[in-house]
Amino acid sequence: MSTKTKLRIKVRDRVRFRLGVHLWTGTVVEDLGKIGVGGEQLVRVQVPLESTEPQVFELSAALLTPAPRRRAAA
């Protein structure tokens, strides 16, 4: 069975992923292409942090889910 994702993740998409016990929300900043095991799509995700510079993770798109949209300021 293939582990390829059916959802195509694109640059600027807001996504969520679980790392350990934490659920992270970030933005896809780079599509690295289908260079993962078995042709999986890999992406670079930037996660903003309050007290430090943003963290950047390289992840399989199969691990990502779309993040809820931010509410517009009233």
- Kindly report, residue by residue over 13-66, the tens digit of the pLDDT: 999 999 999 999 999 999 999 998 899 999 999 999 999 999 999 999 999 999
Residue 62 has φ and ψ, to the nearest 5°, of: -65, -20
Q: Determine the structural domain holding residue 26 and report its residue range.
A: 14-66
pLDDT of 68 > 50? The answer is yes
How far apart are the C-alpha atoms of 10 and 14, rounded to whole Å?
Answer: 9
The answer to whether residue 8 is domain-embedded is: no
The answer to whether residue 52 is domain-embedded is: yes
Residue 20 has φ and ψ, to the nearest 5°, of: 70, -130
**Could you give the number of structural domains in the chain?**
1
User: Of 46, 64, 56, 59, which Cα lies nearest the Cα of 5?
Assistant: 64
pLDDT of 7 > 80? The answer is no
The answer to whether residue 1 is domain-embedded is: no
Tell me what pLDDT residue 2 has: 46
Tell me what pLDDT residue 54 has: 95
Tell me what pLDDT residue 49 has: 92
